[in-house]
Amino acid sequence: MNIIMVCESALVSGGAEKVAIQEAIELTRRGHQVGFIAANDLADPGLESAGVSCLLLDTRSFFEETNRKAKFQKLMANPAIGAKVQQFLSKYEPKVTVVHLHTFRLKLSGIVAHIAQQMGFRTVLHGHDYSTICPTSLLFDHRTGTNCDRRPMSQSCLTCECQNQAWKYKLPKLTSFFWNQTVWRINQKSGGIIHISELERATTERALARPIPGFSVPPISGFHRVSRIEAEKNQNLLFVGRLTHEKGVLPFLEVCSRLNVPAVVLGDGPLKESLQTQFPNARFAGWLDADAILAELNQSRALIVPSLWRETLCLSVIDAMHVGVPCVVSETVGAKDYIESGVSGIVYPPDDLDEAIGFLSDDLKVAKMSEGAFARFVTAPMTVQHHVDQLIAVYQSVLEAKP
């Protein structure tokens, strides 16, 4: 069959892009014809080596656009790319082709899905984030510091400043969100959604007006070992993520400081400078490549994921568990599905971070959780091959379903 990946970037710039590129390369290796539609002008060398056919559009988002007319047009969608997308898709037979939507909201926009629908293609949407049920994809109210329960596009949603930014940055997200609802109309007729955690599935389904076929596909871990990291011998507590309020990095550092525990922060973001000043004893390493992250895990007692908002998954949890580093995870994080609390990690209510981190002071308990985390995946690691096995089954189901 043919598979068309749709992604904002054909380079690894985040988890969604990494997954899309890995899928494209593995599917091509298995003999399927794969296309890749992206908004940037460069592609990952692996895509070219594998023989993936790429449409690189080098287009801008509303926020990047400098031309006034083009900027106004992009309030709803990105019409400038329509003809090129249609021409690219015309090379494929709809009856044996699936259009796989990874990320598209800012630069590509819902026009890609809309064109695919008009041309008769079946589509699947990957649930990397909540952008299709929330205009800002946050589901988080910065004013109250709690998860948002407003109905998308309701009056309370339109008047709520949930981004911790000027309101003008929300307007184009609201208008593009309205257009992007095309995606749901497509999937109600001839496709489905790939869920990446039970929390993401429950949150998404609760927001849908009508049911849409759903499929579960396991994530991909980049780390596999034949022996576990002896986390009980380490002292560092590790945080990986963007340095923003909703990610919970501030309470993480406050607790570590209070308990006099060494904290290591991997990531960057708007809070970095103030956090470095406030917590001079913490080590801020910025964003690192896979080898450097593994080196940090080798020195870590646990990975802490203190998110205050709903995370669809958090792949760093899966990576850490694969090498035997236990994870302390807020119950708002989708990766909690993979943790048996007290056995392979800790799942805690957002207000109980002190108690959860305090639990790590016992070497025997940490050793038990480390062994439990490692045992969870040592015999059945979440490889790209296993992931694509499940993905192909989803594609076949979507192609065989009656519209």
Whether 372 and 389 map to the same domain: the answer is no
Counting every residue written for the chain, the total comes to 403
Whether 237 and 197 map to the same domain: the answer is no
| pLDDT range class, residue 361, cuts 50, 70, 90 | very high
What lies within 8 Å, CB to CB, of 233 at 6+ separation is: none
What pairing do the DSSP bridges indicate for beta strands 33-38 and 2-7? parallel
Sign, Cα dihedral of 393, 395, 398, 400: negative
Q: State how far the Cα of 364 lies from the Cα of 193, in Å rounded to an integer.
A: 42
Buried/exposed code over 280-290 (b: 16+ C-beta within 10 A; e: otherwise): eebebeeeeee
Residue whose pair of structure tokens reads 């499929």 in the numeric block: 215
Whether 64 and 199 map to the same domain: the answer is yes
Query: What domain range includes position 27?
Result: 2-220+383-400
pTM over 0.75: yes
| Of the candidate ranges 13-17, 266-270, 336-340, the one whose mean pLDDT is the lowest | 13-17
Whether 360 and 393 map to the same domain: the answer is no
CA dist 217 to 63, 125, 370, 379, Å?
33, 12, 25, 18
Whether 125 and 14 map to the same domain: the answer is yes
- pLDDT tens, position by position, 279-297: 999 999 999 999 999 999 9
Residues 17 and 315: beta-carbon distance below 8 Å: no
Q: State how far the Cα of 120 lies from the Cα of 187, in Å rounded to an integer.
A: 12
Q: State how far the Cα of 328 lies from the Cα of 341, in Å rounded to an integer.
A: 9
Total number of domains constituting the chain: 2
Give the three-class secondary structure for 195. strand
Q: What is the pLDDT of residue 270?
A: 93
- pLDDT tens, position by position, 310-348: 899 999 999 999 999 999 999 999 999 999 999 999 999
Give the three-class secondary structure for 283. strand
Q: State how far the Cα of 161 lies from the Cα of 165, in Å rounded to an integer.
A: 8
Closest by CA position to 301, among listed 255, 217, 357: 357
- Residue 225 is assigned to a structural domain of this protein: no
Tokens representing 233 are: 């011998």
Whether 357 and 390 map to the same domain: the answer is no
Whether 389 and 335 map to the same domain: the answer is no
- Which CATH number does the domain housing residue 282 bear? 3.40.50.2000
Closest by CA position to 17, among listed 126, 138, 180, 115: 126
